Amino acid sequence: MRVPVWLTLGVAALVIIFGLYRIRLGFRNDEEDARARARKGLYAMGRRTHFLIGTVYLLLGGALVATSFGWNPFGNFFGGETEVPAKNKAPTKDGIPIDGPSAKK
């Protein structure tokens, strides 16, 4: 079963939008930074951390878009390479070997 392209592109769009939001948080001014540090969770992180994580999200979103269009990051690392058989080497009905004791030759 294949994952639909529209689904991977939709998830990639969400990841890229969140990465842009994190980068925007990385460019906040000192006053906004002081208010954010008083809060907890995501906003309490430093500006450089937001910028770094936002960049990672942009890279991940770009990789999702690229894999949607056929890029394989691992190439032929998993599984062996397959060769297309020559047309004259393809098996025919008479050329299929039959194993077993009742094989007629």
Q: Which residue has the higher pLDDT, 105 or 39?
A: 39
Radius of gyration of the CA atoms of the chain, in A: 27
> pLDDT for 10-68, tens place per residue?
999 999 999 999 999 888 888 887 887 888 788 888 888 999 999 999 999 999 999 99
For residue 74, what is the DSSP state? T
Q: State the Cα–Cα distance between residues 61 and 5, nearest whole angstrom.
A: 14
Q: State the Cα–Cα distance between residues 97 and 79, nearest whole angstrom.
A: 27
In the chain, what are the helix, strand and coil shares in percent, each to the nearest 5? 55, 0, 45
Domain boundaries, the chain: 5-69
Q: State the Cα–Cα distance between residues 37 and 43, nearest whole angstrom.
A: 7
Q: What is the pLDDT of residue 6?
A: 94
| pTM greater than 0.75 | no
Nearest Cα residue to 17 out of 47, 74, 62, 52: 62
Q: What is the pLDDT of residue 46?
A: 82
Structure tokens belonging to residue 34: 């002081």
Phi first, then psi: give them for residue 90, nearest 5 degrees. Answer: -70, 145
pLDDT confidence bin for 89, thresholds 50/70/90 = low
Q: Which residue has the higher pLDDT, 70 or 100?
A: 70
How far is CA 78 from its chain centroid?
Answer: 16
> pLDDT for 72-88, tens place per residue?
888 777 776 677 767 77
